[in-house]
Amino acid sequence: MTSTDQQPFLSIKDLKVHFSTEDGVVKAVDGLSFDLIKGQTLGIVGESGSGKSVTNLTILGLHDPARTSIEGEILLDGQELLTATEREMERLRGNKMSMIFQDALASLSPYHTVGIQIAETYRKHTGCGKAEARKRAIEMLRRVGIPQPDMRVDDYPHQFSGGMRQRAMIAMALVCDPELLIADEPTTALDVTVQAQIMDLLKDLQQEFGTAIIFITHDLGVIADIADDVLVMYGGRCVERGTKKEVLRDPQHPYTLGLLNSMPSLTGPVDVPLTPIPGAPPSLLNPPSGCRFHPRCAFAEKVSGGKCSSERPLLEIVDGRGSACHLTTEQKQELFADFAATRHN
Amino acid sequence: MLRFLVRRTLGALVILLVISAVTFWLFYAIPRDPAMMSCGKNCTPDMLKQVRHNLGIDHPVPVQYWYWLKGIFVGRSYGDFGNCPAPCLGYSFANRQPVLGTILDRLPLTLSLAFGSAVVFIIFGVGAGMIAAVKQGKWQDKVASSGSLIASSLQIYFVGYIAMYFLVAKLGILNNPSYTPLTDNPAEWASGLLLPWLVLALIWTANYTRMSRSQLVETLSEDYVRTARAKGLSRRSVFFRFAWRGAMGPIVTIFGIDLATLIGGAIITETVFSLQGVGRLALKAVDQSDLPMVLGVTLLSASAIVVFNIIVDAVYALIDPRIRLA
């Protein structure tokens, strides 16, 4: 964390989200903790199925209560969310905390105009009249950069382009000036130009309102652009945590290193082949013992006594920086040196 | 909208033309001479020839079809029998009654039966499906699912007679099925048709329960439903404003076609409850090789299907703004 003296706006402690399925219990999130202060952006990185999206749906309370068991604590501005009533959660959702979903076409109702969908959120939380909510919707569309908002407000989502839909989605999420914004891969389906515009928009809005943002993505390039802090998730756990610079420049976990190595570098030589991480993401139904990454880890045998497969490495965070790995700092310095050579320039 | 209606109406006319031609041709493909049936036991070749002439079947089939078709638009003269003004669907071979008049006599009953039971099955079927979808996996869902499975396995000729025996004969709760025109006495109209409505609706209710449940379960898992919840809307308003809206399209489609099918006649229901509707008329016409009547009833069912299809498409466009009429 960049400034530790501030009270965290969102605080998650030892969150466990387990789904019961016909095949057994899926441990989608297994002991996750993090804090987020206002005006900061936390980037959460990880492969599909690492628990990124589940974590955030749980914050909003949008999991299926019938088959989900949740332990831990989620404090939003001092209020415990996991024990909040449905009524209280409805008052928070879309108001104090809101979410931007990945696929804006599927996430916007095809049966209602964009304006109605934005105005609806505003009316629900402010109780204002139709005309005022409509004015607010037009104003929001203007703010997210949709041309001729007073005309486009009556369009349906399918009449918008992909980028405009995502903007409309953002307008909908921001209509009540939320203090926490969760963006679940909001730019994944968009082309790079639009992606950059959307991220600039989020940054502007954050500066204007001091919103705390959780930005979920598997794109490290996006993280480098928008995040203050980065949290790397693997198999439902946090494996590394630090500021953007620390994590991207000086990774302390083999998985983070693997992610970085599988990405092309703009500054390095162009003929160096990318190194993918071998293997497939772990099954959360029956996760590997010890460190969940050990079956795919290139350095597992460097740790003596087979500790990687028997003992879960603890995540110790000092000043917002830490990683969950059995390798010693000296070992990492030596083993990760190749990476450092290609990146530090 | 106007363009859509014009285009679809023209298409519908073509379809009806093809259907009537096929029916005509199929009728003569069956080795059965309607003249023999009218002529009776002591039939001589001369008499047969005269009967053929009277029935208007002494021309080649295409010529007969042409006369029939022309009759619809300009009327038709039957010599001694008099004139049949346009739109003329001809006279029944069996009883010499005008086809159009006979059908129009029977139609009010069939329409009453169709719309009455449709109201019952759409309300109960969709209602039960909604409850089952909201209470997924709970006892309400299980009752609705198993109940609809049982109901859809039942047959009208089974349920109908049992219901008549218990509800009418034994307990006297319902009236014996009968038809009184709605305009004569609405109360009698409803009480006379209540039992057929319920019995006919039972099986359809089961289908609509299952269909609306599965549609709703599907739309409830849509991303936009999740978004609506993420906006802070309550479960109830999300269900009615978002999930229900998405589930409605397919239900409306099937409903239109089912209703049209019922207008073509509910043969078994009419037979079980001794009601003189279009269904029994059709059955009798086929049995008696009564070509003009067969054609008339076929055209009625086909028109119902075609018209309701156009209505369904228009309604669908109202429900789903992504669909454009053209």
pLDDT digits (tens, 9 = 90+) for A201-236: 889 889 888 899 999 988 888 888 899 999 999 988
Domain with CATH 1.10.3720.10 in chain B: 103-323
Contact B232 A106 (CB under 8 A): no
- Per DSSP, the three-state class of A43 is strand
Backbone angles phi, psi at B79, to 5 degrees: 60, -115
B-chain residue closest to A178, CA distance: B231
Express each pLDDT in A120-159 by its tens digit: 999 999 999 999 999 999 999 998 889 999 999 999 999 9
B133 to chain A: which residues are within 8 Å by CB? none
- The candidate with the shortest Cα–Cα distance to A130, out of A138, A109, A110, is A138
Find, among B227, B233, B242, B223, the residue nearest to A91 by Cα: B233
What distance in Å separates residue A48's CA from the closest CA in chain B?
18
- State residue A183 phi and psi, 5-degree precision: -110, 110
Average pLDDT of span B173-189: 90
Q: Is A133 on the interface with B (CB under 8 A)?
A: no
Contact state of B246 with A111 under an 8 Å Cβ cutoff: yes
Mean pLDDT over each residue of chain A, to the nearest integer: 87
How deeply is B17 buried, as exposed, middle or buried, from its count of CB atoms within 10 A (0-12, 13-18, 19+)?
Answer: exposed
Q: What is the structure's pLDDT at B81?
A: 67
Kindly report the pTM of this predicted structure: 0.82
pLDDT tier, A102 (very low <50, low <70, confident <90, very high otherwise) = confident
Nearest CA to CA, how far is B237 from chain A (Å)?
A: 11
**Domain segments of chain A as ranges:** 10-96+178-265+275-342, 110-166
Contact of A285 with chain B, judged by CB distance below 8 Å, is answered with: no
CB contact under 8 A, A158 and B229: no
User: Rounded to 10 degrees, what is the CA torsion of A154, A156, A158, A164?
Assistant: 50
| CB of A206 less than 8 A from some CB of B | no
Q: What is the pLDDT of residue A6?
A: 64
Q: Which CATH superfamily is domain B103-323 in?
A: MetI-like (1.10.3720.10)
Residue in A66, A156, A172 closest to B231 by CB: A172
Query: Of the given ranges (A107-111, B100-104, B169-173), which has the lowest mean pLDDT?
Result: B169-173
Q: Where do we find the tokens 């995540």? A: A315
Closest CA to A28 of A291, A311, A287, A317: A287
Name the one residue in this structure whose structure tokens are 């029977």: B106
pLDDT-based confidence at residue A341 (cuts at 50, 70, 90): low
Cα–Cα–Cα angle for B131, B132, B134, rounded to 5 degrees: 65
pLDDT in tens, B59-101: 888 998 999 999 898 888 877 667 888 788 888 888 888 899 9
**Which one-letter DSSP state was computed for residue B32?**
-
Using alpha carbons, select from A38, A53, A52 the residue that is nearest to residue A1.
A38
* pLDDT score at A148: 94
Nearest to A124 among B231, B245, B320 (CB): B231
- Distance CA(A304)–CA(A288), nearest Å, equals 18
Question: Looking at CA atoms only, how far is residue B194 from chain A in angstroms?
Answer: 37
CATH superfamily of A10-96+178-265+275-342: P-loop containing nucleotide triphosphate hydrolases (3.40.50.300)
Q: Rounded to an integer, what distance in angstroms lies between the CA atom of residue B233 and that of residue B85?
A: 62
Which residues, in sequence order, are bridge partners of residue B128? none
Q: What is the mean pLDDT of residues B192-198?
A: 93
User: Is the pLDDT reported for residue A1 higher than 50?
Assistant: no
| Residue of B225, B227, B239 for testing the chain A interface, max A β-carbons within 10 Å | B227
pLDDT range class, residue B293, cuts 50, 70, 90: very high
Is the Cβ pair A107, B234 closer than 8 Å? Answer: no
Residue B82's CB: how many other CB atoms inside 10 A? 9
Do residues A214 and A42 make contact, with C-beta atoms less than 8 angstroms apart?
A: yes
Which residue has better confidence, A265 or A58? Answer: A58
Cα torsion at B267, B272, B274, B275 (round to 10°)?
-40
